Amino acid sequence: MARLISRAALAVVTASLCCASSQAAERHAARRPAPDPVLFSFATVGDSRTDAALATTAQDRLYLQNTQALARIVREISQQHPQALFFNGDMIMGYTTDAVEIARQYAYWRGMMAGLMETGTYVVPVPGNHEMQFKGKDGQGRVTKTAVPDNEQHWRASMGDLILDAARWQAVTGLPLQAYDAANTPQAGSADGNRTSQSQLTYSFDVAGSHFAVINTDPVGNDGHAPVHWLAQDFQRARERGMRHFFVFGHKPAYTYRFRAGVEEDGMDIYPQHAQAFWQLMEDYGASYFCGHQHIFNAQQPALASGGKAWQVMVGSGGSPFSAKPGDGHGPTDRMYAWALVQVHASGRVQVTIRGFDDSYGPSRTLQTLHY
């Protein structure tokens, strides 16, 4: 009898413990954050070309590419499996209209990107000043850098198959490309001051509820300017389609990163009213602007002091000679090769993680994380 009572008591205790454990699990599950899957992820970086005098191998002196830095960045991006890479210009040295030389430089860069397209990351090229401009001298012997029609054509010849292949996009990313219209671009003589059609240079599309715009910041006839009028109309249509996020990719920044005293304006802020108009558009739509041109990483909110929230993320840190010389910059990341990974979540949350490594090619680490 005692043995039976003992067994019954044990059964009651066991049942009580199981009930308590189940209740605790339910309480824990209630506290656990709801799943917030990533709808779309992309990487972005720019400026990988190098100077012949600074190249460390015969290969890089020929192709004018910082192969060591770019290859590592591409490898690390591939390990994160983003669905797209937006490369924000100056992927070649350019500055010439020599078709053979330009084609060779583009081909080398394309070769370095080819593996990404085979492993689930679509490469979206963004034009920079080295691709668009010809470097020469004026009548007084002063150096000039001016966008020319020939270089727009060279861009199309070497990059046009990527801009944009809807079938290949879906095959690579697993997501449909929406609202892409090749005719949706600033036409010659538009209000944005460009003298030539910006076909395959400035364009936009939607993916997974977000709007993406690629812009040429050095169009023929209006170097150093963004297509603000075109963007305003493009953004309005995207908002009417219900797009929740706006991401813009260009080469030149809206606002220069002053990593030391005496840094001169080197972006749209050479023309202050234009930079202000462009940035007001970013604020109006809560857009994020990813750029390069300065060979450095920096994330800033240019209008924060007046209540602005939009981010400018500069990742011109893909291998080109650093803007900050040794001991020159005041930021701990001013001389680091860096790239950004952006994740757009179902809840609407966006996370931007900047990863990088120093100029001695030490271990990679997270440099900064943004949430908005």
pLDDT of residue 23: 52
Please give the Cα distance from 168 to 191 (Å, whole number): 33
The residue to which tokens 């739509």 are assigned: 285
pLDDT tens for residues 152-175? 999 999 999 999 999 999 999 999
Q: Which of these CATH numbers, 3.40.710.10, 3.40.920.10, 3.40.50.920, 3.60.21.10, describes 38-371?
A: 3.60.21.10
Q: Averaged over 6-32, what is the pLDDT? A: 47
Q: Averaged over 206-234, what is the pLDDT? A: 99
- Residue 16 reports pLDDT greater than 60: no
- Stated pTM of the model: 0.91
- Residue 107 reports pLDDT greater than 60: yes
**Residue 103 CB partners (closer than 8 Å, separation 6+):** 154, 157, 158
- The DSSP-derived string for 220-279 is TTSTT---HHHHHHHHHHHHHTT--EEEEE-SS-SS---SSTTPPP-SGGGSHHHHHHHH
Q: Of the given ranges (10-19, 284-293, 338-347), which has the lowest mean pLDDT?
A: 10-19
Return the closest-CA partner of residue 316 out of 71, 73, 55.
73
Q: What angle do CA 125, 95, 44 make, to 5 degrees?
A: 25
Task: Give 13's pLDDT tier (boundaries 50, 70, 90).
Answer: very low
- The DSSP-derived string for 184-223 is -SPPTT-TT--SS--TTTSEEEEETTEEEEE--SS-TTST
Task: Give 18's pLDDT tier (boundaries 50, 70, 90).
Answer: very low
pLDDT of residue 330: 76
pLDDT of residue 22: 52
Q: Averaged over 141-162, what is the pLDDT? A: 97
Phi–psi pair at 45, nearest 5 degrees: -165, 175
Q: Averaged over 259-263, what is the pLDDT? A: 93
Q: Are 43 and 80 in contact (CB under 8 A)?
A: yes
Q: Averaged over 286-299, what is the pLDDT? A: 99
Task: Give 283's pLDDT tier (boundaries 50, 70, 90).
Answer: very high
Mean pLDDT score of the chain, rounded to an integer? Answer: 93
65: Cα separation from own chain's centroid: 19
Percent of the chain with pLDDT over 90: 89
- Residue 365 reports pLDDT greater than 90: yes
- Residue 31 reports pLDDT greater than 90: no
**Residue 309 CB partners (closer than 8 Å, separation 6+):** 283, 286, 301, 303, 372
Sign of CA pseudo-dihedral 84, 90, 94, 97: positive
Please give the Cα distance from 298 to 294 (Å, whole number): 9
pLDDT of residue 32: 61
pLDDT of residue 327: 83
- Residue 25 reports pLDDT greater than 70: no
Q: Of the given ranges (17-26, 174-183, 203-212, 299-308), which has the lowest mean pLDDT?
A: 17-26
pLDDT tens for residues 316-348? 999 999 999 998 867 899 999 999 999 999 999
Return the closest-CA partner of residue 340 out of 39, 42, 38, 121.
42
pLDDT of residue 249: 99
Task: Give 3's pLDDT tier (boundaries 50, 70, 90).
Answer: very low
Domain boundaries, given as residue ranges, for the chain: 1-32, 38-371
- Residue 178 reports pLDDT greater than 70: yes
Q: Averaged over 74-80, what is the pLDDT? A: 99
From first CA to last CA, the distance across the chain in angstroms is 67
